[in-house]
Amino acid sequence: MKKILILTFLLILLTNRVYGQMSKEATVDCQINKTVCVQEIGYDKIKVTFDIIPKPVEFMKELTYKITLTKNDKPITDAKITMDLTMPGMFMGTNRPVIKHIGTGVYEGKGIIPRCPSGRKIWRANIKIERNDTSSIVSFTFEGK
Ligand SMILES: [Cu+2]
């Protein structure tokens, strides 16, 4: 009985270690299933709010990507946004949903995130924002279900 307990304990330890290494490949910085995620572009202080609905974010289902741009609480309406969805550490095909300005600094697009055959769940949205001859990229790393 004691042996089994020790073996179980070692197995849990090992599993945690392997899982820990897997998750090291990419760190989730955006809790998309709970909230919206915000980042600021350093040099021009544009606030980028990123959201995916519905929640939780499920693979193989139609999703709406919503990006809101503001500066000093005022909407930025003249940006061009391109989004590239990638799986960190693994090529999952090109996934670039078309993002369009729908009004008052809100940019939206629709698409699907495929399910990874290896069981990985972490994705990264690279969002390129072009405006007034400058461009910058912000990335949000999140986990789907
Ligand atoms: Cu994958």
Q: Are residues 107 and 130 in contact, defined by beta-carbon separation less than 8 angstroms?
A: no
d(CA 2, CA 30): 42
Measured in Å, residue 36 CA sits from the centre of ligand 1 at 24
Q: What is the pLDDT of residues 109-125, one digit of tens each?
A: 999 999 999 999 999 99
Q: What is the pLDDT of residues 9-31, one digit of tens each?
A: 545 445 554 554 454 568 999 99
Domains in the chain, CATH or no CATH each? 28-143 (2.60.40.1930)
Q: Taking Cα atoms as reference points, which of 22, 30, 68 lies closest to residue 144? A: 30
| Dihedral sign from CA coordinates of 144, 96, 112, 36 | positive
Measured in Å, residue 120 CA sits from the centre of ligand 1 at 6
pTM: 0.82
Measured in Å, residue 119 CA sits from the centre of ligand 1 at 7
